[in-house]
Amino acid sequence: MQPVMRHLIWSVLLPAAVGSMAAAGVCLWWVPGGEKVPEPIKNTSLYKAVHHPPVPVSSPLVLPPAATSVGTPLPAGPAHEAPAVREALNLPSFAPLVHQVIPAVVNISISHASSSADDEDDDSDAASQSTSHEQRHPAPATPRKKRHSRHHGAAKAHRVLHPADDELTGAGSGFVVDASGIIVTNRHVIGQATRIMVSLSDGRSLSAHSLGDDPMTDIAVIKVDSPTPLPCVSWGDSRQVEIGDWILVAGNPFGFGSSVTAGIVSAVGRDLGSGALDDFMQLDAPINPGNSGGPAFNLQGQVVAMNAAIASPSDGSVGIGFGIPSEIVAPVVESIRKTGHVEHGWLGVTLNDASFPMWVEDVDPHGAAWQGGLRKKDAILAIGNVPVHDARTVLRSVAAAHPGTIFNFTIRREGKVITLPVALGKRPTAAF
């Protein structure tokens, strides 16, 4: 009898009991919210162990309400909701900066006598890059403006530079730097215009006249006569600008009128192969035809660059724009205001930096370098107390200096290190 009972317990009764308890646990687990479970069962330790109270979860992308003072509710409406959303998302707003600087930004339109020379393609004027940098034989002056500057060679064939002015509408941009009506823009914006019109932010259109320009840096200064002082902006120090800094660009894209775009500084010290003073600031803020001559502001509302060119396979922005740093623009503008022109230093040498140290490949017998004692095969070690390693640095320093400035060249000649004081000459007009 005992074996039979033992068999019955282990084979029938025990499995039935375990199955019942498992079924009860599953039922307790899956009853939605426990709404239909009797209260005595809800109070059991088994139910509480398998059925935890729900945890509240916030809906995604739902912002918490902005804190407000008691008794001062904000009026409802989009105008009051937008700042609260920006504050909650911690997004920057350029609106205060725009209100501060945009009155000083102007739109420029031109007209000039038709000329078949203006319609010719100037791609043949571009020169390929090389390791030999020449400042000796000046090239003929280029036409009014170069529409396309193509970088030849396998590595750079895809890069096409366009001046950021709108040739179709004759539109460009500028900015007022003095309340008396002094306006800065690109030289290629006004070109050989016979008539320059400036549209101000207050809706007025005034005739402007040129005070002068600088072909080497593509900078021009014009003036309008206004019965009242004009809003103006100040210069910032482009040397303090770092890659990644915010930038606000203003201008007249495609002749639509004043508009602004924002981005960051992508790079500094870009050499586009257009001159000895190439030192462009690369910006990713959209720049399009018509933006040439417009300002690029830092977050303090100071001009740190002037829009000049874009790199694009088409005529539109692809996020690669270039501005002339204020450290170059400001002194040129001041010189034009005082004298109507700009004088750049001239050395008269061909430097080769394919090896280190760089060396003099050729010397113009009528240039400042020859008169100062520089000769072929001299190795250039330093200018003053600053070591130099590339020709671009030397020629840029020379071009930025005034004629008559003394440069002390430390050179090595036939194994001897000597220092030569060289007085810079005046850059020939044809070299522009």
Contacts of 245 (CB under 8 A, 6+ apart): 264, 265, 298, 299
Note the maximum CA span of the chain: 132
- DSSP single-letter state for residue 254: G
Backbone dihedral region for residue 181 (phi beyond 0: left; psi -120 to 50: alpha; all else: beta): left
Which residue is it, tokens 């203006």? Answer: 118
Give the other-Cβ count within 10 Å of 281's Cβ. 27
Backbone dihedral region for residue 281 (phi beyond 0: left; psi -120 to 50: alpha; all else: beta): beta
- DSSP single-letter state for residue 235: B
Active site residue 7: no
Q: Are 398 and 374 in contact (CB under 8 A)?
A: no
Does an H or E element contain 111, and which? Answer: strand 105-111
Q: Which of 292, 317, 326, 335 is catalytic?
A: 292
CA 310 vs. chain centroid, Å, equals 10
Which residue is it, tokens 């900078």? Answer: 219
Q: Which of 213, 218, 284, 353 is catalytic?
A: 218
Active site residue 188: yes
**Of residues 416, 374, 420, 354, the one with CA closest to residue 136:** 374
Contacts of 272 (CB under 8 A, 6+ apart): 149, 161, 278, 280, 309, 322
Q: Are 201 and 161 in contact (CB under 8 A)?
A: no
Which residue is it, tokens 């330790």? Answer: 45
> For residues 247 and 266, what is the distance between their CA atoms, to the nearest angstrom?
10
Give the other-Cβ count within 10 Å of 180's Cβ. 13
334: tokens are 């001041």
Active site residue 123: no
**Of residues 316, 333, 327, the one with CA closest to residue 174:** 333
Q: Are 393 and 399 in contact (CB under 8 A)?
A: no
**What are the C-alpha distances in Å from 2 to residues 5, 6, 16, 74, 158?**
5, 6, 20, 86, 96
Give start and end residues of each alpha helix (H) in 257-390.
326-339, 368-372
> For residues 409 and 417, what is the distance between their CA atoms, to the nearest angstrom?
10
Q: Which of 188, 259, 364, 378 is catalytic?
A: 188
> For residues 106 and 97, what is the distance between their CA atoms, to the nearest angstrom?
16
Catalytic residues: 188, 218, 292
